[in-house]
Amino acid sequence: MKKYAISVPVLAAMMASCAGGDKGDDAKRPNVIVILCDDLGYGDVSAYGSKTISTPNVDSLAHGGVCFNNAYATSATSTPSRYALMTGMYPWKNERAKILNGDAPLLIDPDGYTLPKMMKNAGYVTGAIGKWHLGMGNGDVNWNETIIPGAKEVGFDYSCVIAATVDRVPTVYIENGNVVGREADDPIYVDYNNKFDDEPNALDNPELVRMQWSCGHNQAVINGIPRIGYMKGGKNARWIDEDMADYFVGKVKTFLNDNKDKPFFLYYGLHQPHVPRTPHQRFVGATTMGPRGDVIAELDWCVGELMAELRKLDLLDNTIIVFTSDNGPVLDDGYVDYAVERLGNHQVTGGLRGGKYSLYDGGTHIPFFVYWKGHIEPTTSNALVCQMDLLNSFAALVGQPVRQDLDSKEMLDVFLGKSENGRDELVLEAAGRLCFRKGNWALIPPYNGPEFRETELGNLKDFGLFDLSADRGQTTNVADQNPEKLEEMKLSMHEAVQNYYNAVK
Ligand code: NG6
Ligand code: CA
């Protein structure tokens, strides 16, 4: 039996009636926290049974809440995946929703509808802390002034973020649109095309590089780490990579303390285990897997700190926590950090094929847990769900309209473990290409480009059809044996992608 202190419809009605801000009811509204990791694989948490890694804090969410076995990001890379989470729309409907550089303009329409705006409409205080990667400014950012538009225009009352990825410039924190610690006499400039002659870069100054690159990542050298893009100035404002986990945990704690008496929505974008992997000294050697394993231990600590603070503030049983990852895992993502060499028996995807960037399941089939102490009976769910569905589902939770013009599906009962009636189908994206899930079947349309990492990415010369009920690891293409199913899947995918994509005929 699942138990709810307040039934969901009653809660929704109550909140609709007090959306104007009746303070008296605020304590009853559940806070919502979405923890979004960066490149964490399905097999990278011990909650799904891995014995080669230990993530006790993350596991406490999985074991105390709904542990989803069949949850997806919309995309196999960060920007499109985050775009869908924020907007409730498929990322392939926006051609700019591709991996963005640090100086890219804001991807999300400032006038558009978003998850944080919906929560704000319901009377919530909203915050974004950690990785952003959705662009900011109008395309010609002056890093020495307040950057507009940004997280605020997307719907966040408070934000403290890194602009893109840890491997991209500018390597500074941006709080409410302002570079933290910027100084008028050391202005910041960013350029992704041209180097600054008086700043070190990896090709001309190899002696400064303490983490070698294996692919790309040979431009600005900052803190001894070669990055993507060039940067000048802001010497005192630059982050220390090893301190980033503590820095953002501190911001999370401050946000929780500042807003403990109001209903809040917090988006916490953890930067681990994305490259460059630079654990704090306390986590160096925490695992036998080198930096990639160690930053997962650090990630788990961050989750533990968040939980401890909620407990301390007596907010734990009034806060829904979603834990997930923006896309699947990768070992070598452009730096020499021995992720491959020290992997041992660890299976980053937990047996799924492919990984980050892939149309195979490893690209988008991610860890996903929903925890609400005292309100969700611990359970596992095989329902097909997507991160994009959180928008309309939380709308149902907080009494806001469920919008039919979004790709987001309302499935609050599924997320709360009351129902296994998930999605029928889902379109997934990797590197601008699409694949399709329906029921237990996965369809990967053919790729007409040059031969390119087929085993890893799913660049198949002909249609790939996989029966996930019998072959979770997508080892065998059964298109030839199932011509009717193949036609049915092609038709369904064609309908789902409509005019946006013409590879399925
Ligand atoms: C790629 C980078 C990779 C990573 C990725 C974005 C190279 C060779 N590779 O272009 O290291 O930064 O972009 O990852 O530069 S994501 O998880 O944010 O989508
Ligand atoms: Ca990512």
Nearest ligand 1 atom, CA 326: 17
Model confidence band, residue 502 (pLDDT cutoffs 50, 70, 90): low
Burial of 77 per CB tally in 10 Å (0-12, 13-18, 19+): buried
52 Cα to the center of ligand 2, angstroms: 22
DSSP assignment of 318-337: GEEEEEEESS---S-SSB-S
Average pLDDT for residues 270-297, to the nearest whole number? Answer: 98
- Per-residue pLDDT of 40-88, as tens digits, reads 999 999 999 999 999 999 999 999 999 999 999 999 999 999 999 999 9
The reply to whether ligand 1 has any atom less than 6 angstroms from the CB of 334 is yes
CA of 36, nearest ligand number: 2
Q: Is the pLDDT of residue 15 over 50?
A: no
Average pLDDT for residues 483-489, to the nearest whole number? Answer: 98
pLDDT of residue 29: 82
Query: Which residues are within 8 A (CB) of 146 and not within 5 positions of it... i.e. 6 or more apart?
Result: 176, 177, 178
- pTM of the full structure: 0.95
Average pLDDT for residues 98-124, to the nearest whole number? Answer: 98
Model confidence band, residue 27 (pLDDT cutoffs 50, 70, 90): very low
Amino acid making up residue 436? F
CA of 80, nearest ligand number: 1
List CB-based neighbours of ion ligand 2 within 5 Å. 38-39, 78, 326-327
Q: Is the pLDDT of residue 460 over 80?
A: yes
SS3 of the chain: helix, strand, coil, percent, to 5:
30, 20, 55
The reply to whether ligand 1 has any atom less than 6 angstroms from the CB of 78 is yes
74 token code pair: 């919309």
Residue pair 349/59 in contact (Cβ under 8 Å)? The answer is: no
Q: Is the pLDDT of residue 25 over 80?
A: no
pLDDT of residue 5: 41
Q: Which residue has a Cα nearest atom 4 of ligand 1? A: 333
Tell me the pLDDT of the chain averaged across its residues: 94
Average pLDDT for residues 207-213, to the nearest whole number? Answer: 98
Name the pairing type of β-strands 433-438 and 425-430. antiparallel
- Per-residue pLDDT of 428-450, as tens digits, reads 999 999 999 999 999 999 998 88
pLDDT of residue 228: 98
Query: Which residues are within 8 A (CB) of 300 and not within 5 positions of it... i.e. 6 or more apart?
Result: 54, 55, 56, 57, 58
Residue with the bigger pLDDT between 212 and 6: it is 212
The reply to whether ligand 1 has any atom less than 6 angstroms from the CB of 298 is no
Average pLDDT for residues 138-148, to the nearest whole number? Answer: 97
Q: Is the pLDDT of residue 350 over 60?
A: yes
pLDDT of residue 499: 66
What distance in Å separates the CA atoms of residue 78 and residue 151, rounded to the nearest whole number? 16
- Per-residue pLDDT of 254-267, as tens digits, reads 999 999 999 999 99
Q: Helices 8-17 and 390-398, interaxial angle, to 10°?
A: 70
Percent pLDDT > 90 in the chain is 91
Q: Helices 390-398 and 78-87, interaxial angle, to 10°?
A: 30
pLDDT of residue 501: 61
Residue whose CB lies within 8 A of the most ligand 1 atoms, among 333, 356, 457, for a mutation test: 333
Domains contained in the chain, CATH given:
8-178+241-419 (3.40.720.10), 189-232 (no CATH), 426-504 (3.30.1120.10)
pLDDT of residue 1: 34
CA of 132, nearest ligand number: 1
Model confidence band, residue 6 (pLDDT cutoffs 50, 70, 90): very low
Model confidence band, residue 22 (pLDDT cutoffs 50, 70, 90): very low
- Per-residue pLDDT of 156-187, as tens digits, reads 999 999 999 999 999 999 999 999 999 999 99
What distance in Å separates the CA atoms of residue 29 and residue 397, rounded to the nearest whole number? 9
Residue with the bigger pLDDT between 504 and 50: it is 50
Alpha-carbon distances, residue 221 vs 121, 167, 414 (angstroms)? 43, 10, 46
271 Cα to the center of ligand 1, angstroms: 13
The reply to whether ligand 1 has any atom less than 6 angstroms from the CB of 309 is no
What distance in Å separates the CA atoms of residue 217 and residue 449, rounded to the nearest whole number? 25
